[in-house]
Chain A
Amino acid sequence: MAEKKIILEVQNLTKYFDTPKGKLHAVDGVNFQIEEGKTLGIVGESGCGKSTTGRTLLKLLEPTDGKIIFDGEDITHYSRAKMRKMRTQMQMIFQDPFSSLDPRQSIMQLISEPIKEHKLLKSKAEIEKRTLELMDIVGLARRFVNSYPHELDGGRRQRIGIARALAVNPKLIVCDEPVSALDVSIQAQILNLLKQLQRDMGLTYIFITHDLSVVKYFSDDIAVMYLGQMVEKAPSAEIFANPTHPYTQALLSAIPIPVVGKEKPPRKLLRGEITSPVNLPDQCRFLKRCDSCQQCCQEKSNPQLVEISPNHFVACHIAK
């Protein structure tokens, strides 16, 4: 078998925001790489920096530090104009299909916009044909071509968002909580669609979510983020079978088990609130909420990811 191709590599990606109180550590030294055609799930609670990570990857936000290597090219310091050409390679699906579509544009205009912008097709007839094809691909009835976003439901709008992302034939798509604004029944439809598109087109996904049950179904690898850092990273099956970081354990035990009457394992509840991400001390970030917290953690500095078994990385002093 041929060598697996790494499509995206991120080294020490860091994004700080300046706030009146000090530096806000949104993303702090994140490392990972993705093979072509695979899915990396990034999981974490609100405010842990997972969306910021996604946006920084696409350079919608400028990284403070670190390196982003896409398909062998270091795009970290690409200018806006240079980045525009890269947009045909890397796309994004947004969380909220209600606010991520311009309310004044029809479906035709919305989907054909990226095609026109990158001059992928010349004639008007070709562009219209391609737009209708894209609508077929994402499962939107052609009769909606002159409709406006507000006339459609959330699932259909999210299909428009997907069609827009697909319009330029990208290699990598960052999905920023693509189903969290949708009803459960529609979530499944959209996830199946994304899965099928990946099979058909060999897409690579970065799948950002707070919903572990979604990511289990979807990802090859899972990275758990807490306060801007990756605390655990492993193949999907491994992380569900053998969660090692206390935070991952708590997250997994919070997944509802949809069985009536079955004996359920005790929930692991987290105390307290997420620590403020402003001006963090050099200490384990999970310290204040950790139930396995030991005296020795107090004195040690911030733990880094360590490989505890093949491909399973954990950032914890006590995890073995």
Chain B
Amino acid sequence: MSEMSKAVSTENLNEYKGRSLAQETWRRLLKNKGAVVGMIFMVLLLILALSGDFLYDYDTEIIGMNMSEARLAPSAEHFFGTDQLGRDVFSRIVYGTRYSLIIGVGSVAVGLIVGLITGSLAGFYGGMWDQLVMRANDILYSIPNIMLAVVIVQVLGTSVLSLVIALSISSATSFAKITRAAVMTIRGQEYVESAYAMGLPTWKIILRHIIPNCLSPIIVQVTLAIGSNIIAASSLSFLGVGVPIPTPEWGTMLSDGRQFIRSEPWMCVFPGIAIMLTVLALNLMGDGLRDALDPKLKR
């Protein structure tokens, strides 16, 4: 009897082990059904993006024209129909996943890093640095995004990389603004002072205490920005400064199919659905991540 109670008490002691932030966040993320659905969808997209080359031959199946099969409605042979040049819409969407993901996620990632660093430093230190960063930001903000992107792409040459750079600049400005505002409210909190009293260096305080507490508005902005950057890439393609024309990028396909929307709507509808589902999945994931990172919403 006494042995048994002893065993129980040691077991209890072992239970009181600390969990790391990553473990805790992951545990809570898995409890959120929406986030799990979003993650599964994104993983599928990632697999598609990586396996496009194994599934299709780029020259014949993706960009090769076949006028005899032009503008066919969706069927068992062509799930999503074919476009005006006889290319299979389904294969093009699958193959195009990589471009859309690189453009959407890549531009936001670059913009996020730049915006997070400049914005948090501006919000934290204030003064001259704040003036410098925010005025530069205002200048960029005052130029219409599309025009700015056109100029950048013209200078760097048309390619996916220059498109990513062009779009990341306009994302960076909004990330910097949001981060700065959030950091300014967190900076004055007593737990920041407490961290100083503990002897933490400033960069650790910013990374460990300030940025995690600013994350909610930033995560929302990330999920929104990925979707809008995919769309923005398509308007740039439409202007002729986006992805070079035969590339099966979703936004390009959408604008290509626009002329046929009355007679052959599948050319527009399916790329549109692909963009929509991606944005939806990212939103579900982002919301789940935001909630999982906020211990106050713990269930």
Spell out A's residues near B (CB within 8 Å): 55, 58, 60, 80-81, 83-88, 91-92, 94-96, 99-106, 108-109, 112-114, 117-118, 128, 131-132, 142-143, 145-146, 148, 150, 161, 164, 168
Q: Establish whether residues A148 and B295, one from each chain, have CB atoms under 8 Å apart when the complex forms.
A: yes
A84's partner among B19, B201, B213 (CB-CB below 8 A) is B201
Spell out B's residues near A (CB within 8 Å): 13, 16-19, 21, 24, 189-191, 193-202, 204, 209, 212-213, 293-296, 298
Q: Establish whether residues A88 and B199, one from each chain, have CB atoms under 8 Å apart when the complex forms.
A: yes
Q: Establish whether residues B296 and A100, one from each chain, have CB atoms under 8 Å apart when the complex forms.
A: no
Look across to chain A and name the residue whose beta carbon is closest to the beta carbon of B295: A148
Question: Which residues on the B side are within 8 Å of A92 (C-beta)?
Answer: 194, 197
Q: Establish whether residues A150 and B295, one from each chain, have CB atoms under 8 Å apart when the complex forms.
A: yes
Q: Establish whether residues B194 and A146, one from each chain, have CB atoms under 8 Å apart when the complex forms.
A: no
Q: Establish whether residues A104 and B190, one from each chain, have CB atoms under 8 Å apart when the complex forms.
A: no
Also in contact, A102 and B199, with CB within 8 A (given A131-B18, A150-B296): no
Q: Establish whether residues A106 and B18, one from each chain, have CB atoms under 8 Å apart when the complex forms.
A: yes
Give B241 Cβ to nearest chain A Cβ, in Å. 42
Also in contact, A99 and B18, with CB within 8 A (given A87-B199, A117-B198, A150-B296): no
Look across to chain A and name the residue whose beta carbon is closest to the beta carbon of B298: A148
Q: Which 3 A-B pairs have the closest CB atoms?
A: A87-B199, A108-B18, A148-B295
B197's partner among A87, A103, A128, A148 (CB-CB below 8 A) is A87
Q: Establish whether residues A99 and B198, one from each chain, have CB atoms under 8 Å apart when the complex forms.
A: no
Give B298 Cβ to nearest chain A Cβ, in Å. 7
8 A/B residue pairs, CB under 8 Å, sorted by A: A94-B194, A96-B190, A102-B209, A114-B198, A131-B18, A142-B16, A143-B16, A161-B194
Given A104-B212, A114-B199, 18 further pairs, Cβ under 8 A:
A58-B197, A81-B201, A83-B199, A84-B200, A101-B194, A102-B191, A102-B213, A103-B295, A104-B293, A104-B295, A106-B295, A109-B21, A117-B198, A145-B16, A146-B16, A146-B19, A148-B298, A164-B198
Look across to chain A and name the residue whose beta carbon is closest to the beta carbon of B17: A128
Q: Is the interface of B mostly helix, strand, loop or mixed?
A: helix
Q: Establish whether residues A104 and B19, one from each chain, have CB atoms under 8 Å apart when the complex forms.
A: no
Tell me the total A-B contact number using a CB cutoff of 8 A: 94
Also in contact, A113 and B198, with CB within 8 A (given A60-B193, A102-B213, A128-B18): yes
Q: Establish whether residues B296 and A103, one from each chain, have CB atoms under 8 Å apart when the complex forms.
A: yes
B296's partner among A101, A114, A131, A148 (CB-CB below 8 A) is A148
Q: Establish whether residues B190 and A60, one from each chain, have CB atoms under 8 Å apart when the complex forms.
A: no
A103's partner among B19, B196, B198, B213 (CB-CB below 8 A) is B213
Complex Cα spacing A60 to B184, Å? 18
Give B212 Cβ to nearest chain A Cβ, in Å. 5
Question: Which residues on the A side are within 8 Å of B293 (C-beta)?
Answer: 104
Question: Which residues on the B side are within 8 Å of A118 (C-beta)?
Answer: 199
Question: Which residues on the A side are within 8 Å of B21 (C-beta)?
Answer: 105, 109
Question: Which residues on the B side are within 8 Å of A168 (C-beta)?
Answer: 198-199
Also in contact, A106 and B213, with CB within 8 A (given A131-B18, A146-B18, A148-B295): no
Q: Establish whether residues B18 and A60, one from each chain, have CB atoms under 8 Å apart when the complex forms.
A: no
Give B207 Cβ to nearest chain A Cβ, in Å. 12
Question: Which residues on the A side are within 8 Å of B202 (C-beta)?
Answer: 80
Give A127 Cβ to nearest chain B Cβ, in Å. 9
Give B20 Cβ to nearest chain A Cβ, in Å. 8
Give A38 Cβ to nearest chain B Cβ, in Å. 21
Give B29 Cβ to nearest chain A Cβ, in Å. 15
Give A130 Cβ to nearest chain B Cβ, in Å. 11
Q: Establish whether residues A87 and B198, one from each chain, have CB atoms under 8 Å apart when the complex forms.
A: yes
Q: Establish whether residues B213 and A104, one from each chain, have CB atoms under 8 Å apart when the complex forms.
A: yes
